[in-house]
């Protein structure tokens, strides 16, 4: 029997723990987004470079960081997700994005992929991401905008499409106000640039019909749905 959980219940990730690495399963699009996220991750500039992956999930970013030269450290609320991530080479620990169990300025790169739309306290999560980032380091975010289109594309349509998010995974009340994200990051020294993101339509159709094993994510002018944000932390 399948348990119907409330929207945004973190236990859903434990229910789906066996699906993280299934490229045709409920997390399929996360694989495509991870690849797009990694494009914004700079090359390491020194041997001991650390990338902190906030809400690393099952570690889907790991293969896309190959050759970038960072030690991949993950933090996630889900014990099953961190266990899966560890099997894929991520030094993953349990922790809350709103109260990271990490020292100030410990990271050369901080990524927060598909998590800000799940946290009740956006300001705390953004300020924590900035706190653990060293001056001069890079912050990379992707998330869903708090707009009509964000809700329509990810829930009304997205939850009904193959590759879209599992039903009830998102609570649209937690979707991210872009101005607020930019403002809070700036208050912590990170000036963010935003760009929209969507799956390539020909790739998606080829994926649905089994002619491709994944779809590429492509930039869009509008940031009103899924979007990426990145910026460097100011140096004193």
Ligand X SMILES: C[S@@+](CC[C@H](N)C(=O)[O-])C[C@H]1O[C@@H](n2cnc3c(N)ncnc32)[C@H](O)[C@@H]1O
**From 76, 90, 140, 143, residue interacting with ligand X (rule: CB under 6 A):** 76
- Contact status: 113 vs ligand X (CB under 6 A): yes
Q: Is 227 exposed, middle or buried (0-12, 13-18, 19+ CB in 10 A)?
A: buried
Distance in angstroms between the alpha carbons of the first and the last residue of the chain: 56
Going 172 to 124 to 92 to 66, the CA torsion angle's sign is positive
Q: Which of 115, 185 has the CB closer to ligand X?
A: 115
- Contact status: 128 vs ligand X (CB under 6 A): no
| Shortest distance (Å) from residue 152 CB to ligand X | 19
**From 40, 84, 114, 199, residue interacting with ligand X (rule: CB under 6 A):** 114
Q: Is 175 exposed, middle or buried (0-12, 13-18, 19+ CB in 10 A)?
A: buried
Would you tell me how many other CB atoms lie within 10 Å of the CB of residue 134? 16
| Shortest distance (Å) from residue 185 CB to ligand X | 18
Contact between residue 145 and residue 139 where contact means Cβ atoms under 8 Å apart: no
Piece of 75-83, 182-190, 206-214, 227-235 that binds ligand X (CB under 6 A): 75-83
- Contact status: 225 vs ligand X (CB under 6 A): no
What is the three-class DSSP state of 211? Answer: coil
The β-bridge partners of 110 are 52, 139
**From 16, 28, 29, 30, residue interacting with ligand X (rule: CB under 6 A):** 30
Q: Of all residues in this chain, which one has the CB nearest to ligand X in the complex? A: 57
| Shortest distance (Å) from residue 57 CB to ligand X | 3
Interacting residue ranges for ligand X, rule: CB under 6 A: 10, 13, 30, 33-34, 55-57, 60, 76-78, 81, 96-98, 113-115, 118-119
């Amino acid at each position: 029997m399948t348990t119907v959980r409330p929207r945004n219940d973190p236990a859903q990730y434990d229910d789906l723990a066996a699906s993280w690495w299934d490229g045709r399963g409920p997390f399929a699009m996360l694989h495509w987004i991870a690849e797009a996220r990694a494009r914004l991750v700079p090359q390491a500039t020194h041997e001991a470079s650390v990338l902190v992956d906030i809400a690393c999930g099952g570690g889907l970013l790991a293969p896309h960081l190959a050759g970038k030269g960072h030690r991949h450290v993950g933090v996630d609320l889900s014990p099953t997700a961190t266990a899966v991530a560890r099997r894929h080479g991520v030094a993953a620990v349990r922790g809350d994005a709103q109260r990271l169990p990490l020292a100030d300025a410990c990271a050369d790169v901080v990524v927060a992929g598909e998590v800000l739309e799940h946290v009740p306290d956006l300001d705390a999560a953004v300020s924590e991401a900035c706190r653990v980032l060293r001056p001069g380091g890079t912050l990379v975010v992707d998330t869903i905008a708090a707009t009509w289109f964000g809700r329509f594309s990810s829930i009304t349509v997205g939850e009904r499409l193959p590759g879209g998010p599992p039903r009830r995974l998102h609570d649209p009340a937690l979707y991210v106000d872009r101005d607020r994200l930019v403002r809070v990051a700036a208050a912590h020294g990170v000036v963010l640039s935003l760009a929209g993101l969507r799956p390539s339509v020909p790739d998606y159709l080829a994926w649905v019909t089994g002619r491709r094993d994944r779809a590429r994510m492509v930039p869009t002018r509008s940031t009103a749905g899924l979007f990426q944000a990145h910026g460097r932390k100011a140096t004193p």
